[in-house]
Structure 1
Amino acid sequence: MTFVIALPCVDVKDQACIQECPFDCLYEGERMLYIHPGECTDCGACEPVCPVEAIYYEDDLPEKWRPFAAANAEFFDDLGHPGGSAQLGPVPKDHPTVAALPPAAHRTP
């Protein structure tokens, strides 16, 4: 199991979680941040600093946001294990689930 970033992060990308993560396993996509499931050690440092409460332990992810568990994992299918987001930098893509969402200003909670 790992931590997952869900819908509240889309179009926000506060990045407090990136700064707090001691393992550099949070990556920036175009519209949201993603946690690499193979690099996350489940330390939980990212969760309490998220100002929009978008980070959940996978088992605690609300049902309505379950697709984000797959989106977080599948985001890395073609990236593999980059070994840290600082080294890679922003990734110019998003998972299709995220890319298909309307802008945050047009979504209902």
Structure 2
Amino acid sequence: MSTISWSDFEKVEIRIGTVVGVEHFPEARKPAYKIRIDFGAQLGVRKSSAQITDIYGHMDLLGKQVVAVVNFPPKQIANFQSECLVLGVVGDEKGVVLLQPEREVPYGSRIL
């Protein structure tokens, strides 16, 4: 594993957002959702593609707070432009488990 400096870590904008919209994404190569996440007044609502259909149903995600990287460049996935990267833990074989705060925090809060 390579190491990074503290200044490298400070460049990564990891924020808390709340899922406000979820759609199935049949055009994706692997099963995924198109997710809209509200990061508050400063960042607004951003879109992400997430391969989390193994564990999470459509309705499980609405209102859930998630952790995401918000300063990657947009990425084209099929016919969809992903604007942030939702973070999760790759479980054994049961799919990705989303990272989320232990209790509700304001939208847009930065992970330090």
Question: TM over 0.5, yes or no?
Answer: no
More strand, by proportion: 2
More helix, by proportion: 1
Q: TM-score, normalized by length of structure 1?
A: 0.32
